[in-house]
Amino acid sequence: KAGVTQTPRYLIKTRGQQVTLSCSPISGHRSVSWYQQTPGQGLQFLFEYFSETQRNKGNFPGRFSGRQFSNSRSEMNVSTLELGDSALYLCASSLESRTEETQYFGPGTRLLVL
């Protein structure tokens, strides 16, 4: 069974630009969550999507948004990039329930903002 895949793996952007990252969950998984990892703040929860609806949201500004498609694939978008958005962005998938299930993480997209 294929794991969680993320594209692209690496990305370089300049301040003010916008970026879209993609995540394909494990087949059959309907929940996709996004996390930002930085050396200073560690891993922080961005948002979770389930059945094309945002189910939970972390404490990030509105420049960070996401969506989920009917095939459970998810994208996240960051508009008006800032230097501090440089990070490893990880997505994770699980079947349905947050209470009983392991989350499976993808390899991440490393974003560098210049």
Helix (H, G, I), strand (E, B) or coil at 14: coil
Q: Judged by CB under 8 A, does residue 33 bind other proteins?
A: yes
Only segment of 14-22, 35-43, 65-73, 78-86 that touches other proteins (CB under 8 A): 35-43
Q: Cα(24)–Cα(27) distance, rounded to whole angstroms?
A: 8
Report yes or no: 14 and 113 within 8 Å, Cβ to Cβ.
yes
Q: Judged by CB under 8 A, does residue 85 bind other proteins?
A: no
Length of the chain: 114
Q: Judged by CB under 8 A, does residue 56 bind other proteins?
A: yes
- Residue from 15, 101, 112, 114 that binds other proteins (CB under 8 A)? 101
